[in-house]
Structure 1
């Protein structure tokens, strides 16, 4: 079984080094192959996602991804490698769990279309910028079905089995109107679940103020990107938030925090999100015992107060990593 590891930019290499070390302890039989992608690679080679990296990603059972630093202005030839990987490998479902005080919810985000298809252009001699939004029946149906299956699985473990369909169909009547229509059609196949609708602005307000009212949220790409970041506040913030990008027989796991260039190289990056990605990866490849060992180690180290500055501690990345690896060794 082969795992492709792509550290990326900024703090990506720092936190992925910790995650990879834990993965080697928990699953020494896995073959781990490292590849490169990101803004720094683009600056050096002219491509952010080299063909050799894409080939390794295609061959791998799963991918562990760090972070990329994308520019906020147009750069000819540059495309975000994580967006490109999601689309090329058809990793259509982004799964973002949030667990915290009285909160246990999941945002299920469509991952391949919407505004993130990258169809943008300037008109009127540069005075007007236009972005195309694409919503399809097929992509909408499969993401809502993914959310429903997840809600049904969670229901078996005591969760309420509620799916919240989030859209803005009152304004975006054609694009979000299609998403809403398809979502309600799929919902009819799951009579054992409870469904509700929320406009995205109302959902954002309620997610910030009353997150415990949600179980599984399903929505389009950009809305899901925003809502999942709001949700993670209730689980400890970006430093601990992990996500999975799932397709048919493929998976990519990435921390949510991004490249964080302001703290890169300072040795204070929180590796917890990357370690939580390893938990999700181990569960996905069918190794729940190993996943639980790492989950327990993460919890024990945080409970002991060994935390990086972003979550109120004074520990370095290395100190957190050493304690978690020591916990794993003690469990053997």
Structure 2
């Protein structure tokens, strides 16, 4: 039996987690769950946003499934997601974007790519943040290392080999950010030379965004630095129907956390209409990581089958179902 740390999260988090666990239980995978608190729920219950007990649970179980956590804009506490990535050195953020049937997407076919984002460096390190006393100037430090660049690019090429993908696109801004992005690109070229079986091309980030909108089918795996990867992965989600269909995996050497990447959506919390697909697709990634590829394929097939049948879909997908009725429809196809 494998024990997974479960973080139910804020807003719609508990609802989509209940739906996801309902489907996983129907698969009879021998999984057990250890609940842990984080976010606003943890603050209310324990007086802190990320309790030591939660960190200890993740460290012990090595695997966590996480619903969205609330992060305020422009002030308040630092992102708990960033804190988790830094604490466990979850250096690889892996975001697939694939076309699904009967979704309100820009592309009905042709999009099947993965964004591999460096998850611990760049401007997200949160160091050197300073605003002058007069409030007129703000400064933020960005740091990129050869080690960090090497391991994320190697992860992308290894993922290409593992999944049978043929091309890795290195996305950068080395023409302007010659130090940080320049080091990333130089290191990526060195790593790419060690994978002659995988095609590699380079693309400046602004051109990448344009090309993704115009011809997304040209991409297979994208690897890039933290901020660029954050933006590009959301853009890719928009191509295939939005964040409601966007899972994410945060991978480290010892620990992995799988999640829905959308927000906590407090405006619909408690209404039972939240789409659980993103977290369910995160569970697909989790099962692959756990060495259960056949079970992962079963779950993915059941999700696609339910979308094709338009069975109990939530309102965002054009249906009249609820979060749990959608989950039960998926579970019936397992």
Using the size of structure 2 for normalisation, the TM-score is: 0.92
Matched pairs, number? 322
1:118-129 alignment, distance < 5 Å: 118-119=126-127, 120-129=129-138
Deviation at 1:73, TM superposition (A): 2.5
> Does the 8 Å contact 1:95/1:107 carry over to 2?
yes
TM-fit CA distance, 1:44: 5.5
Residue of structure 1 in register with 2:59 after alignment = 58
Shift of 1:116: 1.0
Question: What does 1:14-163 align with in structure 2 at a 5 Å threshold?
Answer: 14-42=15-43, 45-75=46-76, 78-100=77-99, 101-119=109-127, 120-155=129-164, 159=165, 161-163=166-168
Residues 184-222 of structure 1, C-alpha deviation per residue, up to 9 Å, x if partnerless?
Answer: 111111112211111111101111221101011000011
Moved more, 308-317 or 170-179: 308-317
Residues 1-332 of structure 1: pairs in structure 2 closer than 5 A: 1-42=2-43, 45-75=46-76, 78-100=77-99, 101-119=109-127, 120-155=129-164, 159=165, 161-306=166-311, 307-328=313-334
Q: What is the distance in 2 between the residues matched to 1:79 and 1:24?
A: 34
Provide, for residues 27-71 of structure 1, a one-character-per-residue CA deviation record: whole Å limited to 9, x for no partner. Answer: 452221011101343356442111111110111131001001111
Q: Distance in 1 between matches of 2:140 and 2:25?
A: 43
> What TM-score comes out, normalization by structure 1 length?
0.93
Point out the more displaced range, 17-26 or 58-67. Answer: 17-26
Q: Distance in 1 between matches of 2:307 and 2:97?
A: 17
What is the Cα-based RMSD across aligned positions, in Å? 1.5
* Greater alpha carbon shift after TM alignment, 268-277 vs 318-327: 318-327
- 3-state secondary structure, aligned to 1:97: strand
How far apart are 1:283 and its partner, in Å?
1.5
User: Which whole-Å CA distance do the structure 1 matches of 2:170 and 2:332 have between them?
Assistant: 43
1:56-105 per-residue CA deviation (whole Å, 9 max, x = no partner) reads: 01111310010011111322xx2222111111111110111111211211
CA distance in 1, matches of 2:18, 2:308: 23
- Mapped partners of 1:291, 1:153: distance in 2: 15
In 2, Cα distance between equivalents of 1:97 and 1:235: 10
Unaligned 5+ runs, structure 2: 100-108
Q: Distance in 2 between matches of 1:286 and 1:165?
A: 28
Q: 1:39–1:70: 8 Å Cα contact kept in structure 2?
A: no
Partners of 2:324 and 2:44 in 1: how far apart?
29
Consecutive unaligned residues in structure 1, runs of 5 or more: none
SS of the residue corresponding to residue 327 of structure 1 reads: coil
Distance 1:60 1:79 in 2: 25
Secondary structure at 2:295 match in 1: helix
CA distance in 2, matches of 1:81, 1:20: 23
Deviations 1:279-327 (A, max 9, x none): 1111111122322221221111111112212222222112101212222
In 1, Cα distance between equivalents of 2:288 and 2:220: 20
Offset, 1:124 = 3.7
